[in-house]
Amino acid sequence: MTTRREIKVTIIRTNPETDMKPRKVVYTVPYAEKMRVMDALNYIREYIDSSLAYRWSCRYYAKCGLCAAMLNGKPGLTCYEAATDGMVIAPLPNFPVIRDLVIDRREWDRRVNTQLKGLIAPEPESSSTK
Amino acid sequence: MSQATADRIVETDVLVIGGGIAGPRAAIDAKRHGARVFMIVKGIYGSSGCSLSPSTANSTGPWTDLKKDSVDRQFRNIVIDSRQFMCDQELAKIQAQEGGERLVELERWGMVWDRDAQGKISIFPSGKLFPGMAVIDRWITFGRNGTHAVGPFWTGHGTVDILRDQVNREEIPFIDETIVSDVFVTDNAVTGALAYDYFNCKTLLIKCSAVVIASGDYAQVYYPHTMVSGENSGDGFALAYEAGTQLANMEMFEYIHLHFAYPDSARGKAVLETPSESGGMAYIRNSVGDRFMERYNPKAKELSPMADVALAILQEAKEGRGGPHGGAFLDFRHIPPSVVKRSVPGRFEVIEKLGFDIRKDLIEVYPAVHTTSGGIRINPECHTRVRGLFAAGQVAFAIGDSMVEGATGIVDALIWGKRAGEFAAAYSRSNKRLESNLADVQEKVRLMKVPLEAKSGIPPIKVMRRLQRAMWDGAGIVKSEQSLRKTLEVLEDIRKSMVDQMSTKTKTGIFNHEMREAIEVRHMLTTSEAIVRSSLTRKESRNRFHRSDYPRQDDEHWLRFVIAEKTREGMKITTEPIEFPYIKPGVSP
């Protein structure tokens, strides 16, 4: 276990309204034992730059998948993976970037939402529940 | 109404706020009863909110062995064992009667309940795992036998997916990443709502005759000491309160004791839900290595009721025997890792992921808030006292989730969601919609945009964190008159000196999460004030509500609901005796 007091993380940030292309921004955040990537993002949002945009919901349940990003070049959940010194956090590839780590999921969600998944049993009580 | 009020106007009959289980279930039934429906989801529909997380569903049904269990027995369990008479018995009766029906219906729509080798729906042996907690074995599950990354089962996920399929079949329009800021009321009847679409950064005015609030619980006011998802900031309680209806028993919430004590983002994730879950009995130790539960409860030890263990953990820390994060330590060293891995593969993976080696490391654990018991006052038709305002799921004061009984959240959301949808549709059919007051709408739009237009000020997240810290410090698991008063002072200070000073650093026209946070802060303030004032009023301890200055349960004076409502002078708190139409306390069954 590292005893480092602080770590540096690089975030690939984009603001489509003002940036021609993504910017690399390095942040120094205090290290806490067993800290996750999301703890670093939360620290930055609270203490350094509240405009840092990223999605999150379930926190360490790995159930919602909203916080997914590229962590050192590999896709992962920021709530689930460890924060390490020198790591690079970038938005998921293959999606248009909306802002910072937020990607455009609309087409993906539309496709998921318009799939018909279940086979619907007829109205009278299903015998399969007996 | 002038076009200048909002960027987009939607006309509908029933507006559903919330996209977990109760919300979509309400939308489906409202649509099937002939209403036009529009659904607003604060996160991303299908991928956010707490509805994804419940692991089991608890109800009698066709799987029930009638020699051992019945609807009537379940009703008695809810009223006597789980709620200890602190509930509306009319609603409890419906909860016991309709749960099975809703779960069977879910299966007809494609849900695959776990079955045994004979093909019968298998009942999860909760009684064995949670002694003293599950009243009787009647939990059914989805995804129990599969291999999965994290968390024991996937019942919540399954339910959300199946409902999404139905929402899609009914072609119900919805918008996600949008937060409702206000509900408009004229002559005590709902006329519409105002929302902010923070993805597109547009205001949205909804004209409707009925609103179903299904926005989930408020436990985010205790962040990070909570297991709930980011969406559960208690918006619905504030909307209902401002609209003029009553909130009941807001001081009551549930908590679980064995959560990771650090890091913050994993706080609120249960290491175990019960020490016996891990194949053998995991020990709970304090910082000097004692299995301290032997002192508090020599017989049951680690398997004492959850509330007792949680209070003991806090007490040990108070007496200087807590861990670095104020918690106690879970010890698996005497259980072979292979046994733990086989018993709870998901939890084992989470523990390993955080870098713990259970052969030699102790894991620090700390209690965290789980869910809300109180909420918006409803009748059996889910109607509040504001005409056209309905509520369902965790935000409503129905039966709610209870750790004593366990796993009632999904069933609760399905039952009351369906009812809310059905009765909201009926209401909108027979009541003409009134127009919202134009000046009121314009004022609310102006107020909403203040943080966006302010050139400088306090970022909303700073205000939110101050509120959350004050709530946990003074209105957390154990509270007293003194600690509650202190929290109330902080809340008042935030309202006076910070809320109007909020300014979002984000000024872009796309994905302004800070605007969502600014609206959440306003809602959290109202909700928190109701929690603190209700806690101050209840001068006793019962179930999971602990006052250090009134440690005893006092049925003689406090078998009452604590009610919060809005008046011209501010928040008014009253109490109301509970009616016992079916079972009376003290009368043996």
A81-123 pLDDT tens trace? 999 999 999 999 999 999 999 999 999 888 887 776 667 777 6
Question: Cβ contacts (< 8 Å) between A128 and chain B: which residues?
Answer: 107
Along chain B (589 residues), what's the average pLDDT of each consecutive run of 10 residues? 76 97 98 98 93 88 91 92 90 94 93 88 77 70 59 80 92 96 96 97 97 96 92 97 97 91 88 84 94 94 88 95 95 92 83 92 94 93 98 91 74 96 97 92 96 96 98 96 98 97 91 97 98 98 93 94 96 96 80
CB-based contact (8 Å) between B354 and chain A? yes
CA nearest neighbour of B130 among B107, B152, B156: B152
Helix axes B513-537, B460-475, angle to 10 degrees: 20
Best probe of the A interface among B21, B64, B108, by most A CBs < 10 A, is B108
Q: Could you tell me the residue ranges of all domains in chain B?
A: 7-252+373-589, 257-368
Number of H helices, E strands in chain A: 2, 7
Asked if residue A82 belongs to a domain, the reply is: yes
pLDDT digits (tens, 9 = 90+) for B165-217: 999 999 999 999 999 999 999 999 999 999 999 999 999 999 999 999 999 99
Test B461 with A56 for CB contact under 8 angstroms. no
Cα B438 to Cα B448: distance, rounded to the nearest angstrom? 15
Question: Cβ contacts (< 8 Å) between B150 and chain A: which residues?
Answer: 61-63, 80
Residues 6+ apart with CB under 8 A from B63: A129, B120, B121, B123, B140
Residue B464: CB atoms within 10 A of its CB come to 23
Q: Which among B52, B263, B465 is the nearest to A46, CB-wise?
A: B465
Q: Which among B104, B157, B264 is the nearest to A125, CB-wise?
A: B104
Dihedral sign (CA B318, B324, B325, B330): negative
Q: CATH number for the domain including A102?
A: 3.10.20.30
The two tokens of residue B29 are 């039934």
Length of chain B: 589
> Looking at CA atoms only, how far is residue B159 from chain A in angstroms?
11
pLDDT computed for residue A25 by the predictor: 97
Question: Cβ contacts (< 8 Å) between A17 and chain B: which residues?
Answer: 508-510
Supply angle C-alpha B411, B253, B533, rounded to 5. Answer: 135
Q: Are B224 and B239 in contact (CB under 8 A)?
A: no
**What b/e string do you get for B90-119 counting C-beta neighbours within 10 Å, with b at 16 or more?**
ebbbbbbbbbbbbbbbbbbbbbebbeeeee
Q: Are B230 and B50 in contact (CB under 8 A)?
A: no
Question: Cβ contacts (< 8 Å) between B110 and chain A: which residues?
Answer: 117-120
CB-based contact (8 Å) between B162 and chain A? yes
Length of chain A: 130
> Looking at CA atoms only, how far is residue A55 from chain B in angstroms?
9
Test B353 with A80 for CB contact under 8 angstroms. yes
Q: Is B87 helix (H, G, I), strand (E, B) or coil?
A: coil
ipTM over the 0.85 cut-off: yes
Identify the CATH number of the domain defined by range B257-368.
3.90.700.10
pLDDT computed for residue B347 by the predictor: 83
Type of residue found at B385? R
Test A57 with B48 for CB contact under 8 angstroms. yes
pLDDT digits (tens, 9 = 90+) for A9-62: 999 999 988 887 999 999 999 999 999 999 999 999 999 999 999 999 988 777
At B422, give phi and psi (nearest 5°).
-60, -50
Test B53 with A63 for CB contact under 8 angstroms. yes
Number of domains in chain A: 1
Partnered with residue B213 across adjacent β-strands are B17, B391
Asked if residue A1 belongs to a domain, the reply is: no
Residue B567: CB atoms within 10 A of its CB come to 8
Q: For residue B346, what is the nearest residue in chain A, using CA coordinates?
A: A61
Asked if residue A47 belongs to a domain, the reply is: yes
Q: Which among B62, B168, B262 is the nearest to A114, CB-wise?
A: B168
CB-based contact (8 Å) between A48 and chain B? no
Dihedral sign (CA A40, A43, A48, A51): positive
Cα B336 to Cα B331: distance, rounded to the nearest angstrom? 12
Test A109 with B46 for CB contact under 8 angstroms. yes
Test B229 with A58 for CB contact under 8 angstroms. yes
Residues 6+ apart with CB under 8 A from B554: B539, B540
Cα B577 to Cα B554: distance, rounded to the nearest angstrom? 13
Q: Which among A18, A116, A126 is the nearest to B108, CB-wise?
A: A126
Q: Which among B52, B164, B262 is the nearest to A64, CB-wise?
A: B52
Q: What is the DSSP string of B29-53?
A: HHHHTT--EEEE-SS-TTSSSGGG-
CB-based contact (8 Å) between A42 and chain B? yes
Test B46 with A112 for CB contact under 8 angstroms. yes
Domain enclosing residue A70, as ranges: 6-129
The two tokens of residue B20 are 């977990």
CB-based contact (8 Å) between B266 and chain A? yes
pLDDT computed for residue B125 by the predictor: 76
Residue with structure tokens 């020198």? Answer: A86
CA nearest neighbour of B96 among B129, B135, B131, B133: B135
Partnered with residue A88 across adjacent β-strands are A10
Bridge pairing between strands B478-479 and B546-547: parallel
Test B264 with A126 for CB contact under 8 angstroms. no
Q: Between residues 56 and 115 of chain B, which touch chain A (CB distance below 8 Å)?
A: 61-63, 104, 107-111, 113
Cα B266 to Cα B280: distance, rounded to the nearest angstrom? 24
Identify the CATH number of the domain defined by range B7-252+373-589.
3.50.50.60
Q: Which among B49, B262, B510 is the nearest to A16, CB-wise?
A: B510
Cα B136 to Cα B149: distance, rounded to the nearest angstrom? 29
pLDDT computed for residue B403 by the predictor: 66
CB-based contact (8 Å) between B269 and chain A? yes
> Looking at CA atoms only, how far is residue A90 from chain B in angstroms?
17
Q: Between residues 80 and 109 of chain A, which touch chain B (CB distance below 8 Å)?
A: 80, 82, 98-99, 102, 105, 109
Q: Are B193 and B180 in contact (CB under 8 A)?
A: yes
Residue B438: CB atoms within 10 A of its CB come to 11
Q: Is B134 helix (H, G, I), strand (E, B) or coil?
A: coil
The two tokens of residue A32 are 């806490």
Question: Cβ contacts (< 8 Å) between A33 and chain B: which residues?
Answer: 262-263
Test B508 with A15 for CB contact under 8 angstroms. yes
Q: Which among A35, A118, A123 is the nearest to B263, CB-wise?
A: A35
Asked if residue A69 belongs to a domain, the reply is: yes
> Looking at CA atoms only, how far is residue B514 from chain A in angstroms?
7
Best probe of the A interface among B265, B271, B504, by most A CBs < 10 A, is B265
Cα A117 to Cα B304: distance, rounded to the nearest angstrom? 43
pLDDT computed for residue B527 by the predictor: 98
CB-based contact (8 Å) between B325 and chain A? no
Longest CA–CA span in chain B (Å) reads 71
Test A99 with B510 for CB contact under 8 angstroms. yes
Q: Are A29 and A43 in contact (CB under 8 A)?
A: yes
Q: Which among B52, B353, B508 is the nearest to A58, CB-wise?
A: B52
pLDDT computed for residue A124 by the predictor: 61
Q: Which among A16, A18, A118 is the nearest to B165, CB-wise?
A: A118
Q: Which among A50, A62, A117 is the nearest to B110, CB-wise?
A: A117
- C-alpha radius of gyration, chain B, whole number: 23
**Mean pLDDT, chain B, whole residue set:** 91
CB-based contact (8 Å) between A35 and chain B? yes
Test A120 with B266 for CB contact under 8 angstroms. no
Cα B181 to Cα A52: distance, rounded to the nearest angstrom? 23
pTM of the model: 0.94
